[in-house]
Amino acid sequence: MRVLVTGADGFTGTYLVAELLSRGCEAISFASDITDADAVDAEIAAVKPDRVIHLAAIAFVGTDAVDPFYRVNQLGTYHLLGAVARHVPHAHVLIASSANIYGNSTGGYLNEATPPNPANHYAVSKWAMELGAGMWADRLHMTIARPFNYTGVGQEEQYLIPKIVAHFRRRDPVITLGNIDVSRDFGDVRSVVAAYAGLSLAPPAVPVVNVATGNVWNIHQIVAMASRITGHEIKVETNPAFMRQNEVEILAGDAALLHSLLPDWQPYSLEETLEWMLQL
C-alpha cells in the first residue's frame, strides 16, 4: 500500500510515517508546497498514491497571523483534493481536521453530531475546510478525523504540555502560564497516528470521526501528575498576556465511534504519556 502523507516532516507526520512503515506500507512524503496548486497537481499526477493522509496545516492557535490559516488549512486542502480527484479518482483521503471546530459547545462529551461552534480563526479554517471538502464527495472517498488535543516527545514547547514538561525536566521553581482553568482531552501522538493509519487503511466507513481518549484533565491536574512522576514541586503563576481571547473552556471527546471502527485501538493514558516525555 502506497500512502502519501502531507506534513510528513512535522511532529505528527514523523510518527505517522513510522506507524505506516511498521504496518508494511510504503510511506511517501509529500514534497510540494500545499499552497501551490500547480505543484500539488504535478506531484499527485506523478505519484498516484493508493491512499492519502493529509496532515499539512497551520496548527498553533495562539498566533495573531490570520491569513496562513485559510491559505494552508482551507485552500491548500482544496488544491490537494482537486488534484487527487483528477488523477486518482475514488481514492481514499483521510483529512486531519480538529476538535477545535466544536468550540465552546455544551452538553458534556462531544460526538460527531455536535454542531460546530468555532471560536478562533484556526477552528474556522478547519470547519471551512471540512465544508469545502464536500465538493469532492462524489469523486473521492473521504474520512475526516477530528483529533482532540494530543502531545508527545518532539512537540514544540509553545504548546502547553511540552512547556510544562520542559519546566519539570529543568526542575524550574516556577512556571508562568495563561488560563489555568481550561480542561482538555489530552491524547498521545502515538495513539493518534495509530488511529489515522487504521482509519486510512480500512475501507471508508464514516465521513467524520473523533480521535479522542474520552478523559479530560485540567492544568492543575497535569502539573500535579508531573510532580508525582518527578518528585519535584513547581509553583504555577499566570500571566494575562498568555491568555487567548475566546478560549475554549472544556473540550471533551466522545470516542465511541472510533472504538467501534477500530476495536483494537487503545489510547495511552495521560500518565503514560507524561512518563514518556519526562524520562528523556
Residue 162 pLDDT: 97
**How much of the chain, in percent, has pLDDT values that exceed 90?**
85
Residue 266 CB-density burial (10 A; 0-12 exposed, 13-18 middle, 19+ buried): exposed
The whole-number average pLDDT for the span 210-228 is 95
* pLDDT level of residue 280 (50, 70, 90 thresholds): low
Whether pTM > 0.85 for this model: the answer is yes
Please report the pLDDT score of residue 60 as a whole number: 75
Per-residue pLDDT of 154-166, as tens digits, reads 999 989 999 999 9
Question: What pLDDT score does 278 carry?
Answer: 97
pLDDT for residue 144 is more than 80: yes
pLDDT at 89 over 80: yes
Q: 263 falls in which pLDDT band (50, 70, 90)?
A: very high
Q: Show Cβ contacts of residue 64 under 8 Å, excluding neighbours closer than 6 positions.
A: none
What does the block give as the cell for 2? 502506497
Describe the chain by its helix, strand, coil percentages, rounded to 5.
40, 20, 40
Q: CB of 159 within 8 A of CB of 177?
A: no
Predicted pLDDT at 250: 80
- The percentage of residues in the chain with a pLDDT greater than 70, rounded to a whole number, is 96
Q: Where are the beta strands (DSSP E) in the chain?
A: 2-6, 26-29, 51-54, 92-96, 141-147, 150-151, 174-177, 183-184, 187-188, 208-211, 217-218, 235-238, 250-251
Query: Residue 106: its pLDDT value, please?
Result: 63
pLDDT in tens, 191-210: 999 999 999 999 999 999 99
pLDDT of 247 > 90? The answer is no
| In contact, 4 and 30? CB cutoff 8 Å | yes
Does residue 233 have a pLDDT over 90? yes
Region 2-151+188-214+252-267: CATH code: 3.40.50.720
Tell me the C-alpha distance between 81 and 269, whole Å.
Answer: 34
Residue 43's SS3 state is helix
Sheet holding 217-218, edge to edge: 217-218, 183-184, 250-251
Looking at the DSSP bridge assignments, the partners of residue 208 are: 144
Residue 244 has pLDDT above 80, yes or no: no
